[in-house]
Structure 1
Amino acid sequence: MTAMVDLSTWVGSLTFKLWEPSSGGKGLPFGSYLHSSPPRRQRTLTGPFDPAGESFWHMVQVYSTIEPEQHTDPQAQCKFLHKLPLDIRRIIYDMVLGGMVFHVTTNDSKTRIFSYTCRLPHDINNENHIDCFAVSTKRPPSAPRDEYKHATGLLPLLVSCRRIYSEAIETLYSANTFEFWENRVAFGFLKVMVPPQRLRCIRRFRWDMQIPHHPNLNARSRRDWSDLFTFFTNDMCGLQHLHLKFNRSHRFESGIIQTRDEDASGWVRPMIVMAVDAKRKRGCHVEVVTNGVVHEPDSIFKAVAHEKTTENFDVILQMACIELHRQIRLSLDNPG
């Protein structure tokens, strides 16, 4: 069974170099990940769980899509599965597996991805939140080892049986916040570790982005930037909170400052379109942070639309692009 469970054991006990697709040109650092196929998974996912539990025809449909060796036993002897309704079991799964902030990182390109469970989740928006590493706990592996003789982690519950895994695995993604400080680790997680079907379960995603140059520098960079927000729209279609912090970069910031607000729609437009679409479809809140200042693309679009009620969508979108770029540009003039 391919299980995406405890962040420190998701890749087993192996140490490996993160998959890195070939790159070229002067695109953005995540562009090669977006445009390359991820490594082929060795095993298929566990088949979906039937919430009805009693639907014979649904069971036929489910099992027709599962490989022969995959089988979910009904576990008739288990009182937890047969005495408690599914809704109650999901509440329990949420209490056990949810409510955490995972800082996902790696020591270098040759070591596996691991995570720290934040002990200061209420302080996550603080500029100095990275200091919480001092009081955060690295997720131990599920099996006891010399350094973790009493390890528990998240894995035991999920691998206790295939039915519990099928019921609970989505909770691991939907009920927690995932935060990244490196482009390579973020896309190693999104494009290598997490199966595409699970990306839709992620609700809260935070990323401190390293952008080496202005997204409008050349055609490759413009494509990479646009495709990034298409990825958020289509592949991570369950997002409810997206927090993107643009880290300080002289080339990136100088490109913003030197660009007229009226000429900035090429790289600002994808952010606003994604934010407006996500807000309309599922109430997703998108935040873009520059130099400590939080910008809300959807709110900017709504404010312009409220003021310019007689204008069409394209005109409102262009004006919103101008205003968002103006706010970003002005934030870079502040000492920070």
Structure 2
Amino acid sequence: MDMSGFWGDLALKVLVNVSPSVQWANKVAEPWLGLPYGVYLHSGRPRRQRTLTMASAPSVDDSIWQRFQALAALGTEPRCEQQPDCGFLSKLPLDVRMIIYDLVLGGSTLHVSAGDNHSRIYHFICLVPDRITQSQIHGQCHQLSIHRPSSAPRENFPHPTGFLPLLVTCRQIYSEAINTLYSSNRFEFTQIHTAFRFLTRMIPQPRLPAIRHLVLKMAVPRHPHLNSRTKRDWDDLFKLFSNEMSGLQSLYLTLGMLEQVKQTIRDTPDSEGALWIKPMMEMATDGFARRGCKTQLVIDGFSHDLVQIYQATKVGREDVFPEMRLEGACTTLHQRIRVSLGGQG
């Protein structure tokens, strides 16, 4: 039975509602619920009240670079009016303004978090970005944020600070600088609901390609190929990274697995286990070929460089059958994960 579509969702709800034992029904339905982020990937994005803004229309006084940037977006987004009285916008060329935006908005590693699924999403600036993978040492980042002013004025800090003030100065500055906010910082998530609310609800879809560096730590309570629903969710996760986040230059993905998932991996032959590895490997190799994206996978404390494994995989006649190299790399990676989890070598 295919439980991956609308009728599958309806069947699960009916099962729970009409069953005399809700506890039993939830236990039966639970394996078919897919992976925790699936609901974010497959429900529609919120409708925006207006389209994205752009920089002002080109004028005769603009540099060639300014004209090219403006003409590339004309006809697709609202225009901004020229502001000859603003020295920053009228006297500084766009390339200089972009350097300023990068200095003001970029260069940070941001811990992005929320209290629960419905809470406001907020960020902390990381104090030890070179140790971003060691989550246990970042409590001081959170403590510091309690004592520093936010982007909104408050009684004890009447002047706003942070990213927001510059971006809300005017529409033209917002249009020129907003992509810098995403492209010049590294984003770290340790909560699934925060990560996917941020990526699929908070950020407009056209902004996703601006994200360059992502650190994501997520739970995988069920094997990615347990059933049709988990397969769909797993495949679509890496389509998000590959197709919509097409500007990624580094992805550090940590998977937390329950013991039953680890046991399933240990019991699965590598040739079969390669099937759930394939979406990851395809995304990693495609991203590396297009823009040199580095993809690191961490499971149970063991780190795996997906592109490095692919490059080290040599199989016969790959010039004729290039998919053989991909399959070989997937098999090798599954073997390494299985052995790292205590499986037989």
Residue 320 of structure 1 and its aligned partner are, at CA, apart by: 0.8
Q: Which has the higher contact order (CA 8 A, sep 6+)?
A: 1
Distance 1:200 1:46 in 2: 16
Unaligned runs of 5+ in 1: 1-21
Give, in whole Å, the separation in 2 of the partners of 1:209 and 1:239.
18
Q: In structure 1, what is the Cα distance between the partners aligned to 2:275 and 2:52?
A: 39
Matches of 1:207 and 1:32, distance apart in 2 = 18
Question: Retained in 2: the 8 A contact 1:103–1:180?
Answer: yes
Q: Which amino acid aligns with 2:52?
A: L
Give how far 1:264 is off. 0.7
What displacement does 1:132 show?
4.1
Query: Does the 8 Å contact 1:76/1:82 carry over to 2?
Result: yes
Query: How has the CA–CA distance of structure 1 residues 63 and 314 changed in structure 2, closer, same or farther, with 3 Å as cutoff?
Result: closer
Match of 2:153 among 120, 132, 144: 144
Q: Is residue 313 of structure 1 aligned with residue 322 of structure 2? A: yes
Shift of 1:28: 0.9
**Aligned position for 1:28:** 35
Match of 1:76 among 80, 84, 99: 84
C-alpha deviation, 1:61, in angstroms: 7.8
Tell me, in whole angstroms, the C-alpha distance in 2 between the residues paired with 1:284 and 1:132: 30
Partners of 1:209 and 1:246 within 8 A in 2: yes
Contact kept, 8 Å, 2:63 with 2:93, in 1: the verdict is no
Sort the Cα spacing of 1:277 and 1:87 in 2 relative to 1 into closer, same or farther, 3 A.
Answer: same
**TM-score w.r.t. structure 1 length?**
0.84
1:258 correspondence with 2:270: no
Give the corresponding residue for 1:37.
Answer: 44
What residue ranges of structure 2 are gaps of 5+ in the alignment? 1-8, 13-31
Deviates more, 1:325-334 or 1:192-201: 325-334
Describe the SS at the equivalent of 2:210: coil
8 Å contact from structure 2 (residues 216, 253) kept in 1: yes
Q: CA deviation at 1:215?
A: 0.4
Aligned to 2:207: 198
Aligned CA-pair RMSD: 2.5
Segment of structure 1 superposing worse, 83-92 or 22-31 = 22-31
* Residue equivalent to 1:289: 298
**Aligned residues of 1:240 and 1:285 also touching (Cα < 8 A):** yes
Structure 1 residue 117 corresponds to structure 2 residue 125: yes
**Identity rate, percent:** 43
Q: How does 1:135-284 map to 2 (within 5 A)?
A: 135-137=143-145, 140-146=149-155, 148-284=157-293
How far did residue 150 of structure 1 move? 4.2
Deviations 1:270-319 (A, max 9, x none): 00011000000011001100122111111111100xx3353322221111
- 8 Å contact 1:49–1:167 — kept in the other structure? no
- Whole-angstrom distance in 2 between the partners of 1:258 and 1:77: 70
Does the alignment pair 1:85 with 2:96? no
| Aligned-residue offset at 1:127 | 5.1
Partner of 1:108: 116
1:325 aligns with 2:334: yes
State the distance in 2 between where 1:309 and 1:75 align.
63
Q: Secondary structure at the residue paired with 2:33?
A: coil
Shift of 1:170: 0.5
Output the CA distance in 1 between the equivalents of 2:195 and 2:174. Answer: 24
